[in-house]
Amino acid sequence: MKQFIAFVKKEFHHIMRDNRTLLIILGMPVVEILLFGFAINMEVQDIRVAFYDPTPDDFTTGIAERIRQNSYFNYQGKMQSMEEMEESMRKGKLDLAVVFPQKFQESMVHSGKAAVQLLSNSSDPNRGSISVTYASAIIAGFQQEQADLIQIPFRIETENRMIYNPLMKSSYMFVPGIMGLVLMIICTIMTSVSIVREKERGTMEVLLASPLKQGTMIFAKTIPYMVISFIDFIIILLLSYFVLGVPVNGSLLLLFLVAILYITLTLSYGLTVSTLVDKQVNAVIFSATTAMIPVLMLSGMIFPIDNMPMVLQTLSAIVPARWFIEAVRKVMIQGLGITMIWKEMLILIGMILFLLGVTIAKTKKRLE
Amino acid sequence: MKTLKFLIEKEFKQMFRNPLIPKMIVMYPIMVLLLFPWAVSFEIKNIRIDVVDHSKSTYSRRLTDKIEASRYFILNDTPPDYRTAMLNMEHGETDMILEIPSSFDVDLVKNKASGVGMAVNSVNGTQGLLGSNYIMQIVNDLSSELRAELMHTLPPQSRASMIRMPQIDIVPQYKFNPSLDYKNFMIPGFMVLLLTLICGILPALNIVMEKENGTIQQINVTPVNRIHFILAKLIPFWVVGLVVMIISVSAAYLLYGLWPVGSVMAVLFSAIVFILSISGLGLIISNYSETMQQASFLVMFFILILILLGGMFTPVSSMPAWAQLIAVINPFNYLTDTFRMLYLNGSKLADVTGNLLALGVIAIVLNGWAVFSYKKRG
Amino acid sequence: MSVKVIEVSGLTKKFGNFTAVDHITFDVEEGEIFGFLGANGAGKTTAMQMLCGISMPTAGAGTVAGYDIIKENELIKRNIGYMSQKFSLYEDLRVWENIRLFGGIYGLSDKVIATKTNALLEKLNFQKERNTLVKYLPLGWKQKLAFSVAIFHEPKIVFLDEPTGGVDPAMRRQFWEMIYEAADQGITVFVTTHYMDEAEYCNRVSIMVDGHIDALDTPAALRRQFSADSMDEVFRQLARKAKRGD
């Protein structure tokens, strides 16, 4: 036990002396959470729209006016020809073109209908279809007004309330994801590089008297990292709450518990990685490639898991961040209690046990 | 100049003696492009909705049926009151609630107008907006249907006035991506991501490794010109980057049939300019780091920022002004934009010169800095 | 009159408040084997790094191989060889590849490198290890190889920083035989060490204590001066005053 504490102390000293690394580890999450919290906005905005209106009338002007005044749209002017519009779009300068036919109002008044073409730049299909949806909603609103004017029957109004997120900030969805991503990257690299370093230097072999000793030493090594990571988590949490305005609707204690589980998990993953590689470079490569892209893509932090094909949904289940993010979203934003996240917590614990098991097995093998 | 030859030889040999690197260069792009494009979609489908129907009338039931039939929604439950529905939402079982008042039918018939209330879980803001828009569409559809039916019941002479109900047909055309396939949009982004990771991380670790094992001192004692030294470090990564690019372009074609509508040479050329800049960044980090840990944290820090603010996952146009300023010096942003234009918009090389120039400037600045910050004498 | 290949006056290196090298003055003659002795932490490596042009002096002046160490440090590098404490060969390159690399860096042509490599491997009896990665060589062989690489381009002076650390005395003796050979060929050898018995192998030695040179002469003269039986004894007398080091 005494030796254990000695190990831990030595490790702490070692880390404290390395000011620069410490600064980076503590500063990195701060900068990133602020940057991403404020900058990332999943909403489609600034839709550059232009109109092609050969025979302007009250209706077309009315519709154009409404679109122009909508804050999601950025009015680019009137196009003189379809060719002009196509070129503008091809050059990436135009997102949406609203094309009115000739004598729009006349058709509407005489036959009750007319068509509007919406050409949207859909290289980004999300942006493309949402631009169309927004514009359609505005046009539908115009249509409704006309209907109201002549007291058309069967008018149904919809009243809308946004829950949990009255300002609809993307940060609510994104912040738990950033937490998961940053913690995963930091913890995995921290442990794996630090242990592989000793492997490379050969200092590891000296202490490798027995598996128990090595286990103790490794455990001692991870304790300071656990503390630092937890501090990181608290920093991220404070920034999210006070600066980004993300609520903490649930129990703080529960949140901490989830964080501790996740941190333990990511550190364990770092340990596992350290048993798989023997050069520091490779530890970093391995950590970076497995900690970053799968988390970005499959954890649900950006792309909804439900939409993915089954293969990927299954893969997503083994991405630890996915469960962390779900639990955090539920506790932080929805304010739910432990009964609602027992599944996530159990899975996190299971993963920890699995990774530690693999680490121990591989270490034993190496000693033989 | 001849020293350069010897140094480059050494770098390549070392690179290939590392068991992981050659594998990574070939396998990783293939794996990434094989798997991850399938994960992307923002299409909001399967929004779970609870309908609280206080009226339980013909019209309200029709509305509920339409919602159930819609491909955007999954009817989760029809609870008796709003409170139960809210509980469902809190438990994460539903995303939206539609409440139909008890007087729905009566109001529609007597006063020709009524209203419904929506409550939307907007943790996902876009889902919230779209969900409400979809409901509004469905509601409008119902109104139109009801009017059409009414019209048929009217005597012919009264129909005329109804015929003139305003109806605007919206004809959408989704240019450059008619199938609205998100993969096409994301795959160029993945290519940039691969280049960033491979050509950003490896150089960053390279010089630090020599610092840590002492060989850098041996080099500093020789008359080796620091420009040659840095060039020798960079060139292998340029080659690696090009190889990764070729593999990516081929994989995109073989797996997804995606080939640049513009010129593929333009794609490769832009990639090269980008690689020049990102590897320069890696080396700068390497120069300023004393240990591998420092270097790896620093490089991951920068790479994350480049990627997340680079327009791959969220549009640059949606960002606040100051963040868009960052985009101006973000090479990731320029290459993603360039690739997308070349791949999807059919842009020509001329259309992307602006981006390429920016990338070129960034590359010159970063590489210059890398040379300048390498000191042979401490 | 022998040529002075190293001349140093008032050479100083400070790191913040810490003075690692404190106004040292000495010179080295062509063809000498000059031992730069001192305890660990006395400042030997720092001093050597200034002479090799990889550390900027805080104060003082000097020339190495006729070139000014402050203004012409890159020119110095063309005329010297260096072997650092960590032996600084590339562990993941083969024996012949290391030789080729440094030969090429110093401007030797492919043909010359090939010929000389064969000769060298022959002499050291290393032919079998030609293709071995350096990391698999035993320590003593690494040292010999590192030294050979350092003088491969036949420099005027070779700087050796603690070249014999960690091997048994027999190995160390073999190593010193190589040093003698090099000196016989006219290469000046500047070697730091904390093994006092190796001092006997040198023409002249200096002993650094706490950053300054407290003794400079032939080993025999120093033994007389300090009435000591061995250089070890000389050193211990000097070291008693020391604040830094072992």
Give the number of other Cβ atoms within 10 Å of residue A283's Cβ: 31
DSSP readout, A135-180? HHHHHHHHHHHHHHHTT-S-EEEEEEEEES-TT--THHHHHHHHHH
A130-144, C135-149, C216-230, range with the lowest pLDDT = A130-144
List the chains bordering chain A where 3 or more Cβ pairs fall under 8 Å.
B
Distance to chain B for C208, nearest Cα, Å: 22
pLDDT tens per residue, range B224-259: 998 999 999 999 999 999 999 999 999 999 999 999
SS3 A50: strand
Q: Are B125 and A168 in contact (CB under 8 A)?
A: yes
Q: Considering chain A, what percentage of its residues have pLDDT values greater than 90?
A: 34
Say if the Cβ atoms of B6 and C104 lie within 8 Å: yes
Instruction: Tell me if C54 and B220 make a contact (CB, 8 A cut-off).
Output: yes
Contact B279, B200 (CB under 8 A): yes
Per-residue model confidence (pLDDT) at position A167: 45
For residue A168, is pLDDT > 50?
no
Residues in chain B: 378
Burial (Cβ within 10 Å: 0-12, 13-18, ≥19) of residue C195: middle
Per the CB < 8 A criterion, the answer to whether C105 and B6 are in contact is yes
Which of B46, B92, B146 is closest, CB to CB, to A334?
B92
pLDDT tens column, A279-291: 899 999 999 999 8
CB contact under 8 A, C107 and B2: yes
Which helix (H) or strand (E) element contains residue C78?
Answer: helix C73-78
pLDDT over 90 at A320, yes or no: yes
Range C187-200 average pLDDT: 89
pTM: 0.84
CB contact under 8 A, B221 and C77: yes
Residue C147 CA to residue A147 CA, distance in Å, equals: 95
Closest residue of chain B to A45, computed from CA coordinates: B318
Please tell me the predicted confidence (pLDDT) of residue B316: 83
pLDDT value, residue B224? 93
Contacts of B220 in chain C (CB under 8 A): 54
Give all strands (DSSP E) within chain A, no chain letters: 47-52, 73-78, 96-99, 113-121, 155-163
Best mutation target, B1, B4, B10, B16, to test chain C (most C CBs within 10 A):
B10
Q: Among partner residues B7, B18, B217, which is closest to C54 by beta-carbon distance?
A: B217
Query: How far is residue C244's CA from residue C45's CA, in Å, rounded to a whole number?
Result: 14
Q: Which two tokens stand for residue A304?
A: 């909804």
Specify whether the backbone of C88 is left (phi greater than 0), alpha (psi in -120 to 50) or beta.
Answer: left
Q: Give the chain B residue nearest C153 (alpha carbons).
A: B222
Chain A contact set for B185 (CB, 8 A): 123-126
* Stretch (H or E) spanning C6: strand C4-15
Low-confidence ranges of chain B (pLDDT < 70): 42-44, 91-92, 123-125, 158-166
Q: Among A352, A298, A346, which Cα is nearest to A321's? A: A298
**How confident is the model at residue A319, as a pLDDT?**
94
CA–chain centroid gap for A334, Å, is 17
Residue A335 has pLDDT above 90, yes or no: no
Both structure tokens of A37: 């919290």
**Most confident listed range (A81-85, A141-145, B126-130, C164-168):** A81-85
Q: Could you give the 3-state DSSP secondary structure of residue C157?
A: strand
The model's confidence at residue A367, banded by pLDDT at 50, 70 and 90, is low
Q: Tens of pLDDT along C29-80? A: 999 999 999 888 888 999 999 999 999 999 999 999 999 999 999 999 999 9
Closest Cα of chain B to A349: distance in Å? 23
What is the b/e burial string over B244-279, where b = at least 16 CB atoms within 10 angstroms of the residue's CB? bbebbbebbeeebebebebeeebbebbbbbbbbbbb
CA dist A283 → A188, A265, B231, B282 (Å):
9, 17, 26, 17
- Tell me whether residues A116 and B180 touch, CB distance under 8 A: no
pLDDT of A352 above 90:
yes
CB pair distance less than 8 Å for B174 and A129:
yes
pLDDT for residue A166: 46
Pairwise CB contact (< 8 Å): B116 & A140: no
Distance from CA of B1 to the nearest CA of C (A): 10
Among A234-238, A330-334, A341-345, B43-47, the range scoring the smallest mean pLDDT is B43-47
Q: What is the pLDDT of residue A306?
A: 80
Of A3 and C119, the one with more pLDDT: C119
Could you tell me if B53 and C133 are in contact, meaning their C-beta atoms sit under 8 angstroms apart?
no
Angle subtended at Cα B199 by Cα B196 and Cα B205, rounded to the nearest 5 degrees? 115
Nearest by Cα to B203 from B328, B67, B316, B366:
B366
The tens digit of pLDDT for each residue in A196-217 reads 988 887 766 555 666 667 677 7
pLDDT digits (tens, 9 = 90+) for B347-378: 777 888 899 999 999 999 999 999 999 988 87
Rounded Cα distance, A231 and B23, in Å: 37
Classified as helix, coil or strand, A278 is: coil
Closest CA–CA distance from residue B29 to any residue of chain A (Å): 11
C86 and B377 in contact by Cβ < 8 A?
Answer: no
Question: DSSP per residue over C99-145, as a string?
Answer: HHHHHHHTT--HHHHHHHHHHHHHHHT-GGGTTSBGGGS-HHHHHHH
What pLDDT score was predicted for residue C42? 82
Of A15-29, A140-154, C137-151, give the range with the top mean pLDDT. C137-151
**B221 has a chain C CB within 8 A of its CB:** yes
Q: Which amino acid is at A167?
A: L
Cα distance between residue A296 and residue A301, in whole Å:
7
Model pLDDT, residue B1 = 76
Rounded mean pLDDT of C111-116? 95
The pLDDT, as a whole number, for residue B125 is 65
Tell me whether residues A42 and B314 touch, CB distance under 8 A: yes
Which one of C85, C86, C92 has the shortest CB-CB distance to B17? C92
Torsion sign over Cα A34, A36, A42, A44: positive
User: Rounded to an integer, what distance in angstroms lies between the CA atom of residue B268 and that of residue A36?
Assistant: 30
Q: Average pLDDT of A30-40?
A: 84
**From the list B3, B17, B18, which residue is nearest C105 (CB)?**
B3
Q: How far apart are CA A75 and CA B287, in angstroms?
A: 47
- B336 and B192 in contact (C-beta within 8 Å)? yes
Tokens for B128, please give them.
């919230």
3-state secondary structure chain B: CHHHHHHHHHHHHHHHHCCHHHHHHHHHHHHHHHHHHHHCCCCCCCEEEEEEECCCCHHHHHHHHHHHHCCCEEEEECCCCHHHHHHHHHCCCCCEEEEECCCHHHHHHHHCEEEEEEEEECCCHHHHHHHHHHHHHHHHHHHHHHHHHHHHHCCHHHHHHHHCCCEEEEEEEEECCCCCCHHHHHHHHHHHHHHHHHHHHHHHHHHHHHHHHCHHHHHHCCCCCHHHHHHHHHHHHHHHHHHHHHHHHHHHHHHHCCCCCCCHHHHHHHHHHHHHHHHHHHHHHHHHCCCHHHHHHHHHHHHHHHHHCCCCCCCHHHCCHHHHHHHHCCHHHHHHHHHHHHHHHCCCHHHHHHHHHHHHHHHHHHHHHHHHCCCCCC
pLDDT band at A169 (very low <50, low <70, confident <90, very high): low
| pLDDT for C245 beyond 60 | no
Mean local confidence (pLDDT), A241-264:
90
Interchain contact C45–B (C-beta under 8 A): no
- Distance (Å) from the alpha carbon of C245 to chain B's nearest alpha carbon: 22
Q: What is the pLDDT of residues A64-75, one digit of tens each?
A: 999 999 888 999
A126: nearest CB among B42, B168, B320: B42
Closest Cα in chain C, distance from residue B286 (Å): 19
The per-residue pLDDT for B150 is 79
Give the ipTM of the model, two decimals please.
Answer: 0.89
> Would the CB atoms of B218 and C82 count as touching at under 8 Å?
yes
Q: Best residue in C101, C149, C156 to probe B by mutation, most B CBs within 10 Å? A: C101
Taking CA–CA distances from A74, the nearest residue in chain B reads B317
Size of interface B-C (CB pairs under 8 A): 77
Tokens 């040999």 belong to B13
Q: What percent of chain C has pLDDT over 90?
A: 67
